[in-house]
Structure 1
Amino acid sequence: MDINTKGVWGIEPKFASCFRFTEGLAVAKRPGMKTTGYINKTGEMVISEKFKIALPFKNVLAYVKDKKRRGYINNLGEFVWKSK
């Protein structure tokens, strides 16, 4: 999570796992969840936890896999390219 130089949490530690921020979003999973989503820098889940696989954003896209499809999403969580 995020702790500033004064030891104050920027985002409360409420996630079971959270990766570093890339392009303003981070892959995160809440305790007890089997799927992941994306949070913003305030800790708000902005792309719902529906992915079995979710990779960090790179060049405005992120590779994900859900129950039915896999491919790349934009920062709104919309599939922009799907593979079979």
Structure 2
Amino acid sequence: DIGAQAPHHFLVIPKQHISTLNEASDPALIGKLSLTASKIAKDLGFADEGYRVVMNCNEDGGQTVYHIHLHCLGGRSLSWPPG
């Protein structure tokens, strides 16, 4: 992510175009995105410390790119609420 919000911040993006989570209809695809985020966090070595996975949906949800994608953030303590 060019606007990284944590020491580790990567995106998981499906090849299939889906504008928002509201339009998603394939549970297997959404599951695969989540499992891919988990695998990458493990491969990068920060899964055991913890990380956050986020998908924004529509304007009030913070979505600015209308192609679904997961943000995976880690490498520091993440506070709540996020913003």
Fold match by TM threshold 0.5: no
TM-score for the superposition, normalised by structure 2: 0.30
More helix by share: 2
TM-score for the superposition, normalised by structure 1: 0.30
More strand by share: 1
